Structure 1
Amino acid sequence: MTREEDIRKAVEVLRKGGVILYPTDTVWGIGCDATNSEAVKRVYDIKQRDDSKALICLVDSDARLQRYIRKVPDVAWQLLDCCDKPTTVILDGAVNLAENLIAEDGSVGIRITQEPFSKELCFRFQKALVSTSANISGEPAAQNYPDIDPKIIEAVDYVCWSRRQEHKPHKPSSIIKLTEDGQVTIIRK
């Protein structure tokens, strides 16, 4: 299967409200349409995760990020410009996303991916994509496809073929919270 076919099939499933497993710029992820609350609920169920613990979103560009944050602070752009590894920013003022994806304080974690497969997937889907590590809550993140629990593979609607053969170390993203009033908190280095 070509990468193009793989992405086309994944997008088809996402548009129907399905849940996919896919390689990201960090670890393997469970993904769905970040604007579809039913799909987001399924991701929480698959991970066996309390829905009070927020999930993050993946987007392909600065422009797409701005569709989901009321006002992106200048410090966020500066931070994203200087990061040399995948970095998720938690920003206030989340909009146009599923309610069960937005934290109680109105914030959401979002990352602009530069990795070719996930970037193309986000571009073709034309929406934010939920991106949470492909593991049962509390278990180690799946760095590579063989690390994914079979229960998760069985629970999703589509498993991407791209990068399944890969065997190399991957780490979750850094996470930095930026508030509208300028406070910066490093959640995960």
Structure 2
Amino acid sequence: MASAPIIEVNTEHPQPRHVQRAVEVLSSGGLIAYPTDTYYGLGCDLGSKKGIERLYQLKGRDKKKPMAFLCPDLSDVAKYGHVSNFAYRTMKSLTPGAFTFVLEATRLVPEAMMSKQKQVGIRVPDSELARALAAALGRPIVTTSATDAEGEPLIDAKDIKDALGHGLELILDGGVRLMEPSTVVSLIGDQIEVLRQGKGQLD
């Protein structure tokens, strides 16, 4: 398979034609790389079993470790995670932002995306581009950071092409991203527990 093409994209004001091209790839089970508010992400359509399998394979990730997915806004989160009033208020104050929220999964979440405890990680990123992609797709985007074979983040679209281009259909280039991972926050049982401290800061 030929290596994925790179398209330069404006991350603040994403060009609709580039968003549309990426959505066509996602909705046909393809994989993309794209800039987020944290690292570059590798993404597929939550509704594509084939896409999810390919993403695990490309990332070399253990199937027992579910990936997070991102939604365009909070109203979508409640379809996939059980959102209490407490969780809603907490997320409302922190989204869009560099957080991954761990919630109890609803029945709409594919088995592959849940932990053994039937929990799920959901993001509403502070990235116009990432939210535009999920909104245009009409379903969440399964997301994982773009890393090399050693697990080091790839910060440039050309590096992503060299390392992972063989397994992708499209790379959206938002420039070099010197970033940190998202902060992972569990909201299970109406308790705030920081599972990983990253870019997002809790007050």
- TM-score, normalised relative to structure 2: 0.82
Residue equivalent to 2:12: none
Question: Is residue 124 of structure 2 the alignment partner of residue 112 of structure 1?
Answer: yes
Q: Distance in 1 between matches of 2:178 and 2:149?
A: 20
- In structure 1, how many angstroms separate the alpha carbons of the residues matched to 2:69 and 2:141? 5
Equivalence for 2:194: 186
Q: What is the 5 A alignment of 1:23-172?
A: 23-69=35-81, 71-83=82-94, 85-136=97-148, 139-148=151-160, 150-161=162-173, 163=174, 166-172=175-181
* Whole-angstrom CA distance in 1 between matches of 2:150 and 2:109: 25
- Supply the distance in 1 between the matched residues of 2:156 and 2:33 (Cα, whole angstroms): 11
Report how far residue 127 of structure 1 moved: 0.4
CA distance in 2, matches of 1:144, 1:83: 27
The verdict on how the C-alpha distance between 1:34 and 1:15 changes in structure 2, with shifts beyond 3 A counting, is: same
Given the superposition, is the C-alpha separation of residues 75 and 142 from structure 1 closer, same or farther in structure 2, using an over 3 Å criterion?
farther
Query: What stretches of structure 2 of length at least 5 have no aligned partner?
Result: 1-6, 10-14, 198-203
CA contact (8 A) 1:37 1:101 kept: no
Matched residues in 2 for 1:169 and 1:44: separation? 24
CA distance in 2 between partners of 1:141 and 1:78 (Å) = 32
Q: Deviation above 6 Å: which 4+ runs of structure 1? A: none
Q: Pairwise CA RMSD of aligned residues?
A: 2.0
CA distance in 2, matches of 1:142, 1:187: 23
Q: Write the letter of the residue equivalent to 2:182.
A: S
Q: Please report how far the alpha carbon of residue 41 of structure 1 lies from its aligned counterpart in structure 2 after TM superposition.
A: 1.1
Indicate yes or no: 2:182 matched with 1:173: yes
Secondary structure of the structure 1 residue equivalent to 2:52: helix
- Aligned-partner SS, 1:176: strand
- The alignment of Structure 1 onto Structure 2 pairs a total of residues equal to 184
Q: CA deviation at 1:102?
A: 1.4
SS of the residue aligned with 1:57? Answer: strand
Counterpart-to-counterpart distance in 2, 1:119 and 1:74: 23
Deviations 1:109-166 (A, max 9, x none): 00112311111111111100011001147512223434436231221122124x1xx2
Quote how far apart the aligned CAs of 1:185 are: 2.4
CA distances 1:79-126 after superposition (whole Å, capped 9, x unpaired): 223338411101013331322111111111001123111111111111
**CA 137–37 in structure 1, closer or farther in 2 if over 3 Å, else same:** farther
Structure 1 residues without counterparts, runs of 5 or longer: none
Q: Shift of the alpha carbon at 1:21?
A: 0.8
Describe the superposition over 1:37-83 as per-residue Cα deviations: whole angstroms up to 9, x where unpaired: 221111110001111111000110111111212x2022222222333
What is the identity percentage for the equivalent residue pairs of Structure 1 and Structure 2?
A: 25
